[in-house]
Chains A and B, each alone.
Chain A
């Protein structure tokens, strides 16, 4: 490190301050400093515009302007190097304003200022600035990635489905118009095409639904989960012989209604789908634990082997053979995504052949996780 030269610009109208700073920097242990000095606001700004220094030290008093104004002007120019403000004893307001404006640090001149302190402040300021720049880059990359994802979802919804619909139509028309000239084998092939087309359509819809969770935001409101569950029960219309019971008075939560509805809709319809017999019971309820609500949806269905407990929450993972299953493996992935977005957790316990219980938690003070 000793070979690195750190170029410092001091903007200060007091020559004594320059001499002090120069002496302090010459004592530095970790870096070699090269100090330049200008004594006015305009010269300071001109030098900052040249961008030839690694760090700037601005005195607060600069004739008719002050260091804060120079700091603002420098940032406006797009200065990406750390700026440290030098203030007098007891100027706490100025110190705070400086930090709020975007100074990397402030140093109080006077007896407490030392060579070690100055050097440490410069080193930390440079490190922090590098971190800030890196973070800004990451944020910009994230914004680009998010935009690409949105565009991608749009393209999927438009462009991937159009040819698929064409194939579907052609298969149906072939069967209708030329069915009498095909043997059973040929007809079966056309039906297989039709089935695969539907499956592909469902998968595209699934991807879209899954990506919508992060993409499309609704207004959060106070949502009465008792009403949500009642509405979901109505919508699912379970077969006779299948009982859906709500065990507890569910709470009112501050969330996006469509999202929480999706969570219950997917969990309950899964329970119905994997009952595996004409009669059964689904129970819904909740407990409160340590600042979290813990909800459960349990069923007396076919159950899940323990080795699949994680897998069922991954997108496109289904446990039934693809040909026989109408499910695309998106529902539980959406549940997981929504619950985690709200800062909760989701998991399952099960006894094969007997029952499964899906649990999820929501913090009682709901905050959103995404940026």
Chain B
């Protein structure tokens, strides 16, 4: 991933969206950040050819209309999208959610911490890892 590649955040909670936006600013990540408030909106975003293809997706699990796992299943079954790495960002510590996420080829599973400073540390680690990692498309 390059520092100019777009990132898609799929998240319904406004404060959690602010968390990520603010966190990106704090770690000086300048990638364009697109936000979809649930799985359905995220699919619409991906289907629209006007939109850039994200180099990374940050995915909440618990969302209305189409939850994260449903979205992940569709994404990973689509030849055009399946190579986009997806990191699950959730409050769920349940084994079943972890298992389903990895069965659906999630690239990571992060439980959102309660406090913001910890969240920023986590965000920084994820971000730096993906900056180092080559992606397949455009890489």
Contacts and interface: CB of A to CB of B under 8 A. Distances in A.
Contacts of B51: none
B94 A157 contact: yes
Interface in A271-324: none
B116 A172 contact: yes
B98 to A, nearest CB: 12
Contacts of B112: 165
A172 to B, nearest CB: 5
A279 B49 CA distance: 68
A161 B16 CA distance: 12
Nearest to B15: A166
B2 interface: no
A159 B112 CA distance: 13
Contact of B114 (A157, A168, A173): A168
A157 B92 contact: yes
A198 interface: yes
B95 interface: yes
B115 to A, nearest CB: 5
A245 B15 CA distance: 48
B94 A154 contact: yes
A-side binding surface: helix, strand, loop or mixed? helix
Contacts of B91: 157-158, 161-162, 165
A162 B116 CA distance: 13
Interface in B23-40: none
A363 interface: no
Interface string A166-202: 1011101100000000000000000000100110010
Contacts of A159: 62
B135 interface: no
Interface string B58-76: 0000100000000000000
Contacts of A198: 114-115
B15 A169 contact: yes
B22 interface: yes
Interface string A144-172: 00000000001001110110111011101
Contacts of A169: 15, 18-19, 115-116, 119
Contacts of B18: 169, 173
Contact of A165 (B15, B92, B93, B94): B15
A208 interface: yes
Interface string B93-124: 11100000000000000001011110100000
Contacts of B93: 157, 208
| CB-based closest 7 A-B pairs | A166-B15, A201-B114, A172-B116, A161-B91, A169-B116, A158-B62, A168-B114
Interface of B: 13, 15-16, 18-19, 22, 62, 91-95, 112, 114-117, 119
Given A166-B13, A168-B116, A173-B22, 8 more contacts: A159-B62, A161-B91, A164-B114, A169-B19, A169-B119, A173-B116, A197-B114, A198-B115
Interface of A: 154, 157-159, 161-162, 164-166, 168-170, 172-173, 194, 197-198, 201, 208, 216
